[in-house]
Amino acid sequence: MHSKLSGCVLLGVLLGAFVGTVQGCGSEPFDFPCEPAFPCREPDICVDGLCVLPDAGTDASDAGETSAIGCTGPCIPRGPDGWSDPRAVWIGDASKAPTFCPENMDMGLRTRAFADLEWEYGTCEPCGCTAPTGTCTTLPETIEVRAALCAQQGTALPFGGPDGWDGSCTNANAIPAGAMCGGTLCAQSLAVSPLGPPVEDGCEPVVIPAEKPPHAGTPTMSGPTWTWKTHAISCYLPTCEDPKEACMRTLAPLPEGFAHCVSLSGFHACPETWNAKELVAYDDDKAGAIDGRACTACECGAPAGGACLARVRTFEDGACAKLISDDAISSSVEQCSNVSIAGLAIGSKEITPPEYIPGACATSGGEPTGAVVPNPDRATTFCCRALDA
């Protein structure tokens, strides 16, 4: 019984001594250690690894280097009217941008702005042209029977059809068997002038998307969006009692890459003492840019390479029954063929209806154009003090 009581008394004495150490009257309070994983209890704040109670006022002997109520770090002047309160701002390469604000600069990331826009063109859908359409209606202007082989010169006898001929069987201008022309047989070769050229309609431009049928319209662009090479991370600073100043919560210097900055929406010249570093940034990575990239419209040139084709047939009789020759003719060149037996009677002929053979149209368009530019409506000017100011 006596030993248990003595133990309780001893524990009480030790606990009382510890409490006196923590909050002893007239003594300095005990500063508990702290770190991000073990933060201080309010209203204490973590300074250099120890929990301390913020100062209750400014020490006149420090000439403003000691903070006002609620601050443990130095105070700095505020920016001119209209500009934001001073912030701790990190400006640098986007790949190195901090994810959170430093300890004792309020909790979490506050604002992020973007600068140094970088972009490139994507890929436009390819363009194409439909095949041209056309008609062929004009027969050869002349058909001649010549008293010489195709490669030689000789008398020529007209062998065309009647006026308004449509190419159907006719015995007009028939050549009898054994007919003589200046001492030589007349029927040795048959020469046919070209068919008339095709009457063509233009091609229609089309977009040719991957793995989809062609369609009319303007090509679309696929590919990369834009990026911002520079980021500006703004962290709030607490406010001093003096409305003309702002302060840090810690006496430690700003982390590397940070500076005290003010900002104002739009494009502005930086105020004096706030012009050690200047940056125009944009408040949204998407809305901060205007995407003017596009693809040029598809267009088609005039048809080229089209032709008319038909066949001319000659017969020994006058009713297109006994075939002598069957030769292809076109709108491109004259056709000449030798008669199989010189002096043979050529009693009739016919020309098949000309057929249109389409050419092609030169394709243009589907080229990248335009640009991605910063959106001036989302611009903000950041102006920063020198680190030792």
pLDDT tens digit sequence for 326-337: 999 999 999 999
Instruction: Categorize the per-residue pLDDT at 126 as very low, low, confident or very high, splitting at 50, 70 and 90.
Output: very high
Report whether pLDDT(202) > 80: yes
Report whether pLDDT(36) > 90: no
> Across residues 270-293, what is the average pLDDT?
95
Mean confidence (pLDDT) of the chain: 83
Q: What is the DSSP letter of 101?
A: P
Instruction: Name which residue leads in pLDDT, 238 or 180.
Output: 180
Q: What is the pLDDT, as a whole number, of residue 251?
A: 62
> Across residues 324-353, what is the average pLDDT?
96
Q: With contact defined as beta carbons under 8 Å apart, do 325 and 314 qualify?
A: yes
Q: What is the pLDDT, as a whole number, of residue 85?
A: 85
Report whether pLDDT(15) > 80: no
> Across residues 284-298, what is the average pLDDT?
96
Distance CA 195, CA 355 (A): 10
Report whether pLDDT(10) > 50: no
Closest CA to 249 of 110, 101, 67, 90: 67
Q: Count CB neighbours of 180 within 10 A.
A: 11
Instruction: Name which residue leads in pLDDT, 137 or 250.
Output: 137
**Helix/strand/coil (H, E, C) string of 240-284?**
CCCCCEEECCCCCCCCCCEEEEEEEECCCCCCCCCCCEEEEEECC
Place of tokens 């125009």: 280
Report whether pLDDT(312) > 60: yes
Per-residue DSSP letters for 199-220? EEEPP-EEE--TTS--BSS---
> Across residues 182-205, what is the average pLDDT?
95
Domain boundaries defined on the chain: 75-122+224-294+370-384, 142-192+307-357
Instruction: Categorize the per-residue pLDDT at 101 as very low, low, confident or very high, splitting at 50, 70 and 90.
Output: confident
Q: What is the pLDDT, as a whole number, of residue 58?
A: 34
Report whether pLDDT(104) > 90: no
Q: What is the pLDDT, as a whole number, of residue 180?
A: 95
Contacts of 115 (CB under 8 A, 6+ apart): 228, 229, 230, 231, 232, 279, 280, 281, 282
Distance CA 101, CA 254 (A): 11
> Across residues 233-252, what is the average pLDDT?
71
Q: What is the pLDDT, as a whole number, of residue 326?
A: 97
Instruction: Categorize the per-residue pLDDT at 152 as very low, low, confident or very high, splitting at 50, 70 and 90.
Output: very high
The residue type at 255: P
Q: What is the pLDDT, as a whole number, of residue 23?
A: 30
Give pTM, 2 decimals.
0.64
Report whether pLDDT(389) > 60: no
Distance CA 219, CA 208 (A): 8
Q: With contact defined as beta carbons under 8 Å apart, do 318 and 348 qualify?
A: yes
